């Protein structure tokens, strides 16, 4: 999503970021049901009409991808190369998850809910299934939603039903939800046990982290984004504007700096604001000719402030550094340079055959990985079903490591 969209309190659905690990399943409402089973007194099979008999609840909440900002981490990491746009704020409507659980009746010993959507894996990749703890599931703000911004969910946002886990990163907001299984143990599927984990304590950038020190990603960090001005503005008094959010603790303060954090100026916070939603802010800035790096830094009511330096983690989650945005102040708009393409380089046929079946070239173009990281991606992808002939492997890695390098 273009950063300019982060100026409104509610993000229009048409501009809202979309992220999933496979592709969007087209679910037919007439054939869809929600099954609730496992450690429950009464297993349920609910239609949308059944769900709508429960009390309707609405709330406004930020939805942010766990990997939003990943591209800023150093050393650089594989994955979707987000900068600022993997976040939006919407009004969600549906029912409380705890009302559904009450109908089913949790049995003693229930600890986790295994959530599964209608998306099916590609090749041999593991199915995208996530768990949330019973405590989060029972929280009155955790919803099963069928509406986003007053309209039925679009297929990309999880039609007909998705989890809304306010204050938590998007990986827990399972889309196309069709099955809830109540468990008495931690689930060890790939997307819980391996993916979406970060170290429980600070680690040195680039360090290997022991699996036992990796904990699931849950709460969002306090964060702010400068939506305006963009890359260029005319000299004079300029209104710097954007939004800020946290994990359910209200945003208490946003400050702006144009001198790398030596001095700060307080921004004016917008009125209203919701517990989990965006808080708008604005600040006047005397823009003098030249190249500037503007920084916004938010603090929430719990006293958490955006750091000035990264707290590195091996998968690049939850980036919330007070990130400088470059702004050129000049009377005349500069001409935009168009990045040169790597035209003229022959694309190996073996690469097309092995790698272009599940996703396109864009997946590679955004990565910028070292040769060692490409080797690991090759192992991961062959494990997920990419068919690479032994004789072709080196040529594919040569191509990737030379074309899509750091
Ligand atoms: C069987 C299907 C399949 C094939 C074939 C395949 N991939 Fe993938 N690849 C995936 C999926 C699924 C993802 C995760 C997509 C997502 O998270 O959005 C992925 C993600 C990636 C990523 C992003 C980083 C990551 O680990 O999530 C890279 C890089 C990548 N693939 C490289 C390759 C290369 C190189 C090849 C050829 C050797 C290849 N892929 C072939 C399914 C495949």
Cβ 77 under 6 angstroms from ligand 1: no
Neighbours of 212 (CB within 10 A): 7
| Maximal C-alpha separation, the chain | 70
Ligand 1 centroid – CA 256 distance (Å): 39
Token pair, residue 246, equals 């946290």
List the domain boundaries for the chain: 3-216, 223-329, 349-403
pLDDT of residue 326: 94
Q: Are 147 and 92 in contact (CB under 8 A)?
A: yes
Residue with tokens 């990603």: 217
Ligand 1 centroid – CA 125 distance (Å): 9
pLDDT of residue 360: 85
Q: Which fold has domain 223-329?
A: Immunoglobulin-like (2.60.40)
Cβ 380 under 6 angstroms from ligand 1: yes
Neighbours of 316 (CB within 10 A): 25
Cβ 121 under 6 angstroms from ligand 1: no
Nearest-CA residue for atom 4 of ligand 1:
386
Nearest-CA residue for atom 36 of ligand 1:
355
Nearest-CA residue for atom 23 of ligand 1:
79
Beta-carbon contacts of 120 under 8 Å, excluding residues fewer than 6 positions away, are: 22, 25, 127
Token pair, residue 235, equals 């000299």
Neighbours of 391 (CB within 10 A): 8
Give, for all 406 residues of the chain, the pLDDT tens digit. Answer: 889 999 999 999 999 999 999 989 999 999 999 999 999 999 999 999 999 999 999 999 999 999 999 999 999 999 999 999 999 999 999 999 999 999 999 999 999 999 999 999 999 999 999 999 999 999 999 999 999 999 999 999 999 999 999 999 999 999 999 999 999 999 999 999 999 999 999 999 999 999 999 999 999 999 999 999 999 999 999 999 999 999 999 999 999 999 999 999 999 999 877 899 999 999 999 999 999 999 999 999 999 999 999 999 999 999 999 999 999 999 998 887 655 555 577 889 999 999 998 988 889 999 999 999 999 999 999 999 999 999 999 999 999 999 999 9
Mutation choice for ligand 1 from 17, 374, 384, 394, CB with most ligand atoms inside 8 A? 384
pLDDT of residue 271: 80
Q: How far apart are CA 121 and CA 22, in angstroms?
A: 7
Q: Are 238 and 284 in contact (CB under 8 A)?
A: yes
Cβ 365 under 6 angstroms from ligand 1: no
Cβ 21 under 6 angstroms from ligand 1: yes
Rounded to a whole number of angstroms, the CA Rg of the chain reads 23
Give the CA-trace dihedral at 341, 347, 351, 357, to 10 degrees. 70
Nearest-CA residue for atom 9 of ligand 1:
381
Q: How far apart are CA 95 and CA 142, in angstroms?
A: 9
Beta-carbon contacts of 342 under 8 Å, excluding residues fewer than 6 positions away, are: 403
Architecture of domain 3-216: Alpha-Beta Complex (3.90)
Ligand 1 centroid – CA 210 distance (Å): 24
Q: Are 229 and 211 in contact (CB under 8 A)?
A: no
Cβ 386 under 6 angstroms from ligand 1: yes
pLDDT of residue 89: 97
Architecture of domain 349-403: Orthogonal Bundle (1.10)
Q: Are 327 and 232 in contact (CB under 8 A)?
A: yes
Q: How far apart are CA 224 and CA 135, in angstroms?
A: 28
In b/e form, how buried is each residue of 256-282, taking b as 16+ CB within 10 angstroms?
Answer: bbbeeeeebeebebbeebbebbbbbbb
Neighbours of 47 (CB within 10 A): 14
Q: How far apart are CA 88 and CA 277, in angstroms?
A: 9
Beta-carbon contacts of 306 under 8 Å, excluding residues fewer than 6 positions away, are: 221, 222, 223, 224, 297, 298, 299, 320, 321, 322
Mutation choice for ligand 1 from 78, 175, 349, 359, CB with most ligand atoms inside 8 A? 359
Ligand 1 centroid – CA 312 distance (Å): 23
pLDDT of residue 359: 87
Q: How far apart are CA 325 and CA 21, in angstroms?
A: 29
pLDDT of residue 383: 96
Q: How far apart are CA 245 and CA 233, in angstroms?
A: 26
Q: How far apart are CA 400 and CA 371, in angstroms?
A: 8
Residue with tokens 């996530």: 130
pTM of the complete model = 0.93
Ligand 1: atom nearest CA of 357 is 5
Ligand 1: atom nearest CA of 354 is 37
Ligand 1 centroid – CA 177 distance (Å): 24
Cβ 377 under 6 angstroms from ligand 1: yes
Q: Please state whether 79 falls in left (phi above 0), alpha (psi between -120 and 50) or beta.
A: left
On the CB side of 248, CA atoms within 13 Å amount to 12
Q: Are 266 and 254 in contact (CB under 8 A)?
A: yes
Nearest-CA residue for atom 29 of ligand 1:
364
Cβ 98 under 6 angstroms from ligand 1: no
Mutation choice for ligand 1 from 82, 156, 358, CB with most ligand atoms inside 8 A? 358
Residue with tokens 């919803």: 143
pLDDT of residue 337: 60
Nearest-CA residue for atom 18 of ligand 1:
21
pLDDT of residue 57: 98
């Amino acid at each position: 999503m273009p950063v300019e969209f982060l100026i409104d309190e509610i993000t229009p659905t048409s501009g809202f970021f979309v992220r999933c690990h496979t592709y969007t399943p087209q679910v037919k409402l007439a054939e869809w049901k929600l099954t609730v089973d496992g450690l429950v007194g009464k297993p349920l099979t609910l239609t949308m009409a059944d769900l709508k008999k429960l009390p309707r609840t609405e709330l406004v909440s930020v939805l942010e991808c766990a990997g939003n900002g990943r591209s800023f981490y150093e050393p650089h990491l594989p994955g979707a190369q987000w900068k600022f746009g993997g976040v939006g704020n919407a009004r969600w409507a549906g029912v409380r998850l705890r009302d559904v659980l009450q109908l089913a009746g949790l049995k003693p010993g229930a600890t986790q809910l295994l959530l599964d959507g209608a998306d099916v894996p590609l090749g041999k990749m593991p199915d995208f299934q996530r768990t949330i703890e019973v405590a989060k599931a029972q929280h009155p703000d955790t919803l099963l939603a069928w509406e986003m911004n007053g309209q039925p969910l679009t297929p990309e946002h999880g039609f007909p039903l998705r989890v809304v886990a306010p204050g938590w990163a998007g990986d827990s907001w399972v889309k196309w939800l069709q099955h809830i299984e109540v468990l008495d143990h931690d689930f060890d599927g790939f997307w819980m046990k391996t993916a979406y984990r970060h170290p429980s304590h600070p680690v040195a950038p680039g360090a290997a982290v022991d699996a036992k020190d990796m904990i699931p990603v849950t709460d969002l960090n306090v964060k702010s984004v400068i939506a305006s001005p963009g890359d260029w503005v005319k000299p004079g008094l300029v209104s710097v504007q954007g939004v800020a959010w946290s994990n359910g603790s209200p945003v208490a303060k946003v400050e702006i700096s144009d001198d790398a954090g030596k001095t700060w100026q307080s921004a004016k916070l917008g009125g209203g604001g919701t517990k989990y939603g965006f808080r708008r802010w604005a600040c006047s800035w005397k823009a003098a000719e030249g190249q500037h790096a503007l920084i916004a830094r938010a603090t929430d009511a719990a006293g958490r402030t955006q750091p000035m330096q990264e707290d590195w983690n091996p998968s690049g989650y939850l980036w919330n550094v007070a990130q400088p945005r470059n702004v050129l102040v000049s009377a005349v708009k500069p001409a935009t340079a168009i990045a040169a393409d790597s035209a003229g380089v022959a694309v190996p046929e073996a690469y097309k055959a092995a790698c272009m079946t599940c996703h396109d070239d864009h997946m590679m173009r955004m990565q910028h990985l070292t040769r060692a990281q490409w080797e690991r991606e090759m192992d991961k992808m062959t494990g997920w079903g990419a068919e690479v002939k032994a004789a072709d492997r080196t040529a594919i890695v040569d191509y990737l490591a030379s074309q899509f390098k750091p």
